[in-house]
Structure 1
Amino acid sequence: MKIAFVASEAFPFAKVGGLADVLGSLPQALKTLGVEPTIFLPWYWGIQGYYVGEVEFRFEGRLEQAGLGHAEHQGVRYVLVGLGDFARDRPYGYPDDFRRFVRFALATAELLRDFEIVHAHDWQAALLPLLRNLGWFKARTVYTIHNLAYQGVWGSQDFYAWTGLPGETYYGAGLEHHGTINLMKAGIVNADAVTTVSPRYAWEITTPEGGEGLDGVLRAHQHKLRGILNGLDTQYWNPATDPYLPYPYHADDLSGKGQNRRALLAQFALEDRPTLGVVSRFAHQKGIDLIAEAMDGLMALGVNLVVLGSGEPQLERTFTWMAQHLPGRLAYVQGYNEALAHHIYAGSDGFLMPSRFEPCGLAQLIAMRYGTPPIVRAVGGLLDTVRHWETGFMFDSADAGGVLHGVREFLKHPDREAVIRQAMQQDFSWDRPAAAYLELYRSLLGH
């Protein structure tokens, strides 16, 4: 079975968020099941690949050429689609992102004629199911929503001049949404199957509270919507073999975890108290502001915090100021540091994730793998993966009081070592998700 995965990022070539981890692991897991995967990515600046030719596609009424590169990782083939406006130092965050990824989709669609399944991810590849239905290629299409909050929305005035698509697709193919072009809506309407990254999130996005304005569309297409929980690269995230850890450990011998804890406290001159780790983007979704609001209460409960992350400038300034005024209790490192992230997962006593919404979540899976019970809000994939008082701790309300309630639950548990051991025994590998996707592909092909 030949499957094309089309996405804006994939580990290890380009990574901004969890999408890259999925594209870095799911195809490899499917390959062990006999699938022949190929991943199509923009050829960002800095990606090393071998030039293999060009593809012609039409944009703004004229033929353009995209250079094609070839790369390989763990036996999986990557096709790099080279367009000049992707030769930048980061994948996203530019005013012309919408236009760039429309061009990427149009160029990639010319390369998909030999595949049985095209699996498109998030808004950046959401145009492909529509192009398939217009006859650009014959493969069945799967569309995966990794985060419904980012939909690929643009004013309609330029879109048809860029693409040359028939004007009747504006209403007839699901592109129109409140007077704009909405690529994610078109992906949902036109795909043969729609998936998202946890069963709970699949339900949440059909509700007005979680649907980000597309809940009605998702309810109308609920017959083809399903949630398949993401997995974790358990070879990379393994405390027994992690090269970033000074003291490896496993569930049967936790002595190394204690040594990592002491090293973490010493690194940041923290007092010997229960220590909570945070590794996160500073975004509204992640609820980092709720931690800041709860800081006085957290200090009164007698915990330390080690925080690694960046994002919203105001939150960065807030945590910088708090760390300066709470020496020995709060450490904050701005940005992202891979080695430090591993050390926080291993050396903390608990891991704090107060997300307002969480499609799946990767950090709580890593934390459990490293024997650091997550303290999470009961939403989305967090609710699907954490069992309260057994493998972690939950709270309901998205406010400072909820955060404090979760931490109190953590502190009052009589046997946190039992929670640690149960958490480390959970299977979050890609084996079951890959089997679920393979079943879905086969059903679309009538196998």
Structure 2
Amino acid sequence: MNNFLFVSAENDAIPDCKAGGMGDVVRDVPREIASRGDSAHVVVPSYGRLHQNGVFKAKLEFNLRGTVYVAELYEVLPKKIVKNISHYVIHHPEIKEGGIAHIYHDDPTEPFFNDFVKFMIFSTAVAQAIKIGAFGKLDIVHMHDWHSSAVLFLKTYHPAYQDLKKMRYVYSIHNLAIQGIRPFYNNYASVNHWFPEIQLDHKVLMDPRYQDCINLMAVGIRLADAVHTVSPSYKEDVMLPSRPPEFIGGEGLEKDLQNANNEGRLFGILNASNYNNIRTAEKGNLYRNTVKALFRWLQDESKKYKADFLAHTGEKIMQYVGNRPKFIVSSVARLTEQKFYFLKRSPEAFEEILKRLEKVEGIFMLLGTGNPDYEDLFRKMSYKHKNFIFTNGQSEDLIDSMYLETDLYFMPSLFEPCGISQMLAMRNGNPCLVHHTGGLKDTVAHMKTGFAFEGKTYDQQIRNMVKVFDEALNVWENDKPAWKRIKANAKKMRFTWEDSVDAYYKDLYLL
């Protein structure tokens, strides 16, 4: 039996510990590993709350900032108990929750300041837990994004953690654009402040653009035994330099990724989706679930400033309760540059899409929260266009209904490491319209399982987005057999964890 440890900022196997797709992966991969008879331990920060009903397992003492820190390891109950998997959280008063999904901080003036502090404490506590054998004798340590890469820094450079060199280290990149860059010196959230005893190897640790800073994403890429991107096409993308906004690639780390590839350490393996025990929604509840979510948000103190808008959305949705529109386009995502840059940069293109929908008595439903500029844009568009329904919040019931009852799922991501939304929509037999980039290229085939646009320049991409949207509606209006075929093909597609974890065992874990 092999013994695995997953180290991550998110884990959707436990309640209230997910901001994005990484949480899904850290939930699903250990389940697939456990089904093969191997054992998996998953550890995340407690964020000051997740330990509260946990079982205390160990006191973790370690040196940071020239002083002794004491953290606590708790085992916590998952949403679903699975044999051979144990879930843990690490609690320390300085590992605080942020405003993004009660996990990450948004530090506009000093990027990564708060997150660097909490993930440094977390990673050192993890290294200490491994050292004292809290997870048993480990074979593989699998880390996710920059939040956990300091474990590699510690096992490489810290005299107290030389024992950690025995196991194999795998590093998964979920979003290369977020890199955890902080100064080496002269700041509370700097490497030297937390590890004054370590002689810093600037060449191995530095950011290629800001040479007085550590880049924790680069640390993961440079020091791991195997590096993994969450789709094959994203692997190809990140080895090329970015040319924003036309193309988002290596984001300054393309040479590191090329080196990892030349050394046989870089692998692109597609994330997967669940096809068993799916949380299902009942058909016919889309508008009811929207109204229920709106009423719930109206009672939430933190959403009082949106009360007028929530009431406006409720009024719009009521007209569809007994009178379903002919065609529904939907999107569910965090409102960020990655997901909706095209719509923010070219609102006129989005207006063309809404006008085209009007001709078929269709509506566009968007659900999400995120960047205030994007929220503001979509609220303004909602007041302006009667067939655009923007539900500015988060609701699992409503999300399930949207995936189930949409006619076309719209995913115009600027870049996409893998994407899960398109897989969830396809699982329900709903075609997707996507920007052909990263994992969307690996999952959606134009006019076969969905619709896709691309282009060499930004203007071409925008023109093609509107053109392909028009094409998709033309197929639905004028070629029902072709539409049915695309729907059936989408539903038949299978992106399984069994296949993906086979590749993990072969390429990443060498087992």
Fold in common (TM above 0.5): yes
Distance 2:97 2:219 in 1: 28
Q: Determine if the alignment matches structure 1 residue 123 to structure 2 residue 146.
A: yes
Partner of residue 81, structure 1:
90
The structural deviation recorded for 1:85 is 2.0
- Name which of 40, 57, 60 aligns with 2:65: 60
Give the distance between the partners of 1:86 and 1:236, measured in 2 at CA.
34
Q: Do the aligned partners of residues 441 and 382 (structure 1) sit closer, same or farther apart at CA in structure 2, a change above 3 Å counting?
A: closer
Counterpart of 1:411?
A: 473
1:260-305 per-residue CA deviation (whole Å, 9 max, x = no partner) reads: 6797899553573322101011111112552744232113313420
Query: Taking structure 1 as reference, are residues 337 and 293 closer, same or farther at Cα in structure 2, changes over 3 Å only?
Result: farther
Partner SS state of residue 63, structure 2: strand
Offset, 1:148: 0.2
The residue correspondences of 1:338-417 to structure 2 (distance < 5 A) are 338-397=396-455, 399-413=461-475, 414=479, 415-417=482-484
Specify which of 15, 23, 28 is matched with residue 18 of structure 2: 15
**1:215-261 deviations in Å (ceiling 9; x for gaps):** 011111112101111011223546xxx1xx223xxxxxxxxxxx567
| Secondary structure of 2:94 counterpart | helix
The one-letter code matched in structure 1 to 2:130 is L
Q: Does 1:234 align with 2:272?
A: no
The Cα RMSD (Å) is 2.1
Would you say the 8 A contact 2:228–2:508 is kept in 1? no
CA–CA separation in structure 1 for the residues paired with 2:416 and 2:336: 12
More strand by share: 1
Aligned-pair CA distance for 1:427: 1.1
- The separation in 2 between residues aligned to 1:181 and 1:262, in whole angstroms, is 48
Instruction: Work out which of the residue numbers 326, 342, 352 in structure 2 matches 1:273.
Output: 326
Q: Which runs of 5+ in 2 are unaligned?
A: 107-112, 132-136, 243-248, 291-315
Contact 2:289 2:397 in 1 (8 A): no
Structure 1 SS opposite 2:447: coil
Residue 372 (structure 2) pairs with residue 313 (structure 1): yes
State the match for 2:105 in structure 1.
93
Mapped to 2, the partners of 1:429 and 1:411 lie a distance apart of: 30
Distance 2:286 2:23 in 1: 29
Q: Does 1:166 align with 2:215?
A: no
Post-superposition shift, 1:168?
A: 4.0
Cα distance in structure 2, aligned partners of 1:131 and 1:53: 20
CA contact (8 A) 2:227 2:508 kept: no
SS of the residue corresponding to residue 304 of structure 1 reads strand
Deviates more, 1:364-373 or 1:37-46: 37-46
TM-score (norm 1): 0.90
- Give the total of aligned pairs: 426
Measure how far apart 1:315 and its partner are: 1.9
Letter aligned with residue 298 of structure 1: I
User: What amino acid is aligned across from residue 105 of structure 2 in structure 1?
Assistant: G
- For 2:493 and 2:417, the matched residues in 1 are separated by 19
CA contact (8 A) 2:95 2:122 kept: no
Residue of structure 1 in register with 2:222 after alignment: 189
Secondary structure of the structure 2 residue equivalent to 1:342: helix
Alignment partners' CA distance in 2, 1:287 and 1:151: 21
Partner residue of 2:174? 146
Q: How many angstroms does 1:161 deviate by?
A: 2.6
- For structure 1, the 5+ residue unaligned runs are 248-258
Cα 1:144/1:307, change in 2 over 3 Å:
same
Check conservation: 1:268, 1:331, Cα contact below 8 A: no
Q: Distance in 2 between matches of 1:401 and 1:139?
A: 50
CA distance in 2, matches of 1:87, 1:184: 21
Corresponding residue number in structure 2 for 1:221:
260
Query: Quick one: distance in 2 between partners of 1:233 and 1:165?
Result: 46
Alignment check: 8 A CA contact 1:286 1:356 kept = yes
Alpha-carbon offset, residue 176 of structure 1: 4.6
Deviation at 1:205, TM superposition (A): 0.5
The TM-score normalised by the length of structure 2 is 0.79
From 38, 42, 46, give the equivalent of 2:45: 42
